[in-house]
């Protein structure tokens, strides 16, 4: 991760196909295409990758979450439970629909804590959105049980977890709807892009129409298509889809490299008694896009991060001090700093953030270090990196 590190001839050929015919839009212009339909082809490839009946490409992972929720009828005043540890896009996508993000604690999986989810459910709860952060997963069995018991949707934001599996199922294919991102720094990239994944035919049809202004996509005359309901523009372009089509064919190659590099680093750090690793639920297999580990306390973790920086060890973060991935620094959400008026439903629904604390999340995120696994590292570079990381950690835990 990310796939752009290994761009090559396959990506160039797919993009050149689009440039050759000049059709950058995924719909229409049939006679000009010379047989190339990159978005359609990528959707078919992703159906196989995710072992899912339906895939709808969209413009981003954020769009995928909004489209998925809208496809299931979630909107104004509905509550969607989500974790405190994620990217800001999670609450942005919920609020875009006029729905209310209800943030709850994570546990040692770095995903939603099922007990915290149970306590957060109200009569307004319409969905539980689990975010499979950093290439792994939350306790999916427990979350499925909670969703079933309360008759609410389970939505997977698997934007950072392509290639991970749980009990043989690809992450993103386990819930009622799954969401993926193919932005510039994902394991497979389109530059910008995302996907909604589902086995529910009605949700798929809704997502297909909603993401293209409500077009029903019936027939070969786009101007004659009807509009069964309101929609918006969340389309992906053929250029973006072309890059993704090349990249998805290389996913097994990328995952093998990630796993190799991940294991070298993990083995080196596992020899340090003070280092523990995130919990992966039984039956789960990480994508190995990130290596996540815990240190004894926040002070030690900050010391290690500073040591990494001093030694030139990049792409490692303590999200407790990060502006984008943890609730602690989301003042723009807590204070509702918006360019336009926020609805009374959402404003009132987010009042809880003024007093709510998240001690369990602080306990885990404060002690966590997350290291991105690059595809372009040589084996020698990974081993050197592992030794330097171990040396810094040992010096900090004395």
Catalytic machinery residues = 186
- Do the beta carbons of residue 78 and residue 126 sit within 8 Å? yes
Token output for 290: 């990130």
Sign of dihedral through CA atoms 208, 239, 133, 6? Answer: positive
Alpha helix (H) residue ranges in the chain: 9-21, 38-50, 61-71, 89-95, 114-120, 140-150, 201-210, 238-249, 251-269, 298-310, 331-334, 344-349, 359-365, 379-396
> Which of 306, 206, 236, 185 has its CA nearest to residue 63?
236
Token output for 361: 């999340």
The 3-state DSSP class for residue 191 equals strand
Token output for 353: 């953030």
Token output for 154: 């389970």
Q: φ and ψ at 150, to 5 degrees?
A: -105, 5
Rounded Cα distance between 7 and 67, Å, is 29
Rounded Cα distance between 131 and 293, Å, is 18
> Which of 207, 140, 194 has its CA nearest to residue 162?
194
Instruction: Return the bridge partners of 165, or none.
Output: 170, 285
Rounded Cα distance between 155 and 175, Å, is 5
> Which of 85, 263, 307, 67 has its CA nearest to residue 177?
67
Q: What is the dihedral of CA 80, 81, 87, 91, to 10 degrees?
A: 30
Rounded Cα distance between 161 and 322, Å, is 20
């Amino acid at each position: 991760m990310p796939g752009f590190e290994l761009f090559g001839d396959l990506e160039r050929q797919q993009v050149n196909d689009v440039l050759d015919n000049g059709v950058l839009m995924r719909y229409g212009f049939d006679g000009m295409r010379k047989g190339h339909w990159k978005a359609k082809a990528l959707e078919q490839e992703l159906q196989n990758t995710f072992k899912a009946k339906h895939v709808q490409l969209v413009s981003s992972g954020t769009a995928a979450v909004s489209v998925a929720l809208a496809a299931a009828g979630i909107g104004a005043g509905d509550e969607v439970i989500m974790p405190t540890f994620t990217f800001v896009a999670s609450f942005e996508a919920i609020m875009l629909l006029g729905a209310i993000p209800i943030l709850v604690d994570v546990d040692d999986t770095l995903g939603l804590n099922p007990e915290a989810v149970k306590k957060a459910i109200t009569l307004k709860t319409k969905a539980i959105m689990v975010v499979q952060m950093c290439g792994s997963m939350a306790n999916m069995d427990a979350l499925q049980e909670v969703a079933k018991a309360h008759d609410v949707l389970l939505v997977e934001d698997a934007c950072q977890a392509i290639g991970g599996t749980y009990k043989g199922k690809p992450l993103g294919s386990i819930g009622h709807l799954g969401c993926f991102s193919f932005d510039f720094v994902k394991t497979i990239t389109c530059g910008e892009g995302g996907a909604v994944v589902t086995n529910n035919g009605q949700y798929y049809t809704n997502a297909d129409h909603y993401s293209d202004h409500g077009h029903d996509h019936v027939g070969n005359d786009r101007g004659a298509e009807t509009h069964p309901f309101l929609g918006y523009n969340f389309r992906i372009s053929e250029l973006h889809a072309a890059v993704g089509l090349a990249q998805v064919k290389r996913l097994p190659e990328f995952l093998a490299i990630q796993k190799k590099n991940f294991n070298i680093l993990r083995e080196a750090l596992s020899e340090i008694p003070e280092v523990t690793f995130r919990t992966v639920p039984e039956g789960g297999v990480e994508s190995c896009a990130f290596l996540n580990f815990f240190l004894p306390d926040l002070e030690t973790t900050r010391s290690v991060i500073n040591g990494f920086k001093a030694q030139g060890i990049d792409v490692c973060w303590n999200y407790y001090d990060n502006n984008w991935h943890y609730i602690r620094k989301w003042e723009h959400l807590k204070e509702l700093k918006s360019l336009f008026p926020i609805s009374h439903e959402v404003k009132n629904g987010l009042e809880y953030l003024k007093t709510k604390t998240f001690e369990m999340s602080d306990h885990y995120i404060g002690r966590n270090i997350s290291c991105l696994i690059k595809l372009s590292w040589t084996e020698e570079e990974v081993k050197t990196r592992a030794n330097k990381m171990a040396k810094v950690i040992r010096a900090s835990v004395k």
